[in-house]
A = this chain, B = another copy of it.
Amino acid sequence: MATCYHQSAFKLISSAFPPSNFHKPNHSIYVSQPLRCNLSLPSKTLVTEPEPVFTSVKSFAPATVANLGPGFDFLGCAVDGIGDFVTLRVDPQVRPGEISISDIDGVGNSAKKLSKNPNWNCAGIAAIAVMKMLNIRSVGLSLSLHKGLPLGSGLGSSAASAAAAAVAVNEIFGSHLSVSDLVLAGLESESKVSGYHADNVAPAIMGGFVLIRSYDPLELIQLKFPNEKDLFFVLVNPEFEAPTKKMRAALPTEITMSQHVWNSSQAGALVASVLQGDLKGLGVALSSDKIVEPTRAPLIPGMEAVKKAAIEAGAFGCTISGAGPTAVAITDDEGKGREIGDRMVDAFMKEGNLKASPMVKRLDRVGARLVSGIPR
């Protein structure tokens, strides 16, 4: 079936990105091209409704670390090997043009806490947004969500669900949307669930490091960390609830010029370190935030000691992942990462009286992708 793009607000103004990140999973060659698109969501972007090319698909989207050090609200990156899965199928039982959430399972108490009403579920909201973009009116879908990420951990749990769902819907209909469309769909979900910020959902979809340059229009810059270098994240998640809203409320509303100059220069240094593959510089930048981390760290018992322990154990840098409570440190060696993680766990227990579990994960360079599909 032939499909063609309607001239819409979603049209990519300046991007060399391919329309799908499944067929060309490595975006690295498109690095210097920012993505630009408007944020208002029209009801149609495709003039002709596409037909499904799969009867079912399974997609994956990785965990993400947002608010990267001095990059509060505009710098995030993706973490390989941990994330959410979405299984999506064409379902004649579902009213055409609609989506139903059949099942939610996974780690912790995610399944119990999440709504199966697609209008109140991160995956559902993003899936509906993509269906609208594709102008789906004739096919009903059924979605099953497997949470690999705990809620409220600071690892981009809602963004991973949204990203996996957005990619699944796009792929089942033949992958007509651009990466920026998918980010917009994910952002619609994020804005309803955890706040209007794209520094989780953009790297969850695009992989690697992403800088959010602006929101209106949405402009994203992918920052390529050199392929030949290894980067491991040590993620230590304590048994402690630190809701995003509470952490946001702790932010200062006014900051001084000297704080601003310091944090801005560190953000610039962080971007340079990523692009130049300077892990030591990246670590220093990650640890350097003097605006957000100092107000949030005291709200997470033991966090300051955890950071200190990570650095003493050889991490290049350490900060709070997203809005916490997970602490994230970086290193260039997996074994060293496990040692660093153990020291961080000890510090959470000793100084914060919190049990915590460590993980060591590589940088994800791919982003949300199709895992499997059954062709029609």
Interface residues of A (CB under 8 A from B): 14, 31-32, 34, 70-75, 211-214, 221, 223, 251-257, 260-261, 263-273, 275-278, 280-281, 291
Contact = CB atoms under 8 A, between A and B. Distances in A.
Contacts of A14: 280
Contact of A263 (B221, B264, B269, B277): B264
A32 B277 CA distance: 8
Interface of A is mostly: mixed
A98 to B, nearest CB: 37
A68 to B, nearest CB: 10
Contact of A252 (B213, B257, B273): B257
Given A32-B278, A223-B272, 18 more contacts: A32-B281, A34-B269, A70-B264, A71-B264, A75-B265, A211-B265, A213-B266, A213-B269, A221-B268, A251-B257, A254-B257, A257-B291, A260-B260, A263-B264, A264-B267, A268-B270, A269-B271, A272-B275
B257 A256 contact: no
A265 B213 contact: yes
A253 B273 CA distance: 29
Nearest to A291: B260
B74 A261 contact: yes
A264 B211 CA distance: 11
Contacts of A272: 32, 211, 221, 223, 271, 275
B75 A268 contact: yes
Contacts of A281: 32, 34, 221
Contacts of A254: 254-257
A264 to B, nearest CB: 4
- In the complex, the 9 A-B pairs of residues with the closest C-beta atoms, listed nearest first: A32-B276, A74-B265, A268-B271, A271-B271, A264-B264, A264-B267, A254-B254, A32-B278, A213-B269
Contacts of A212: 265
A281 B219 CA distance: 11
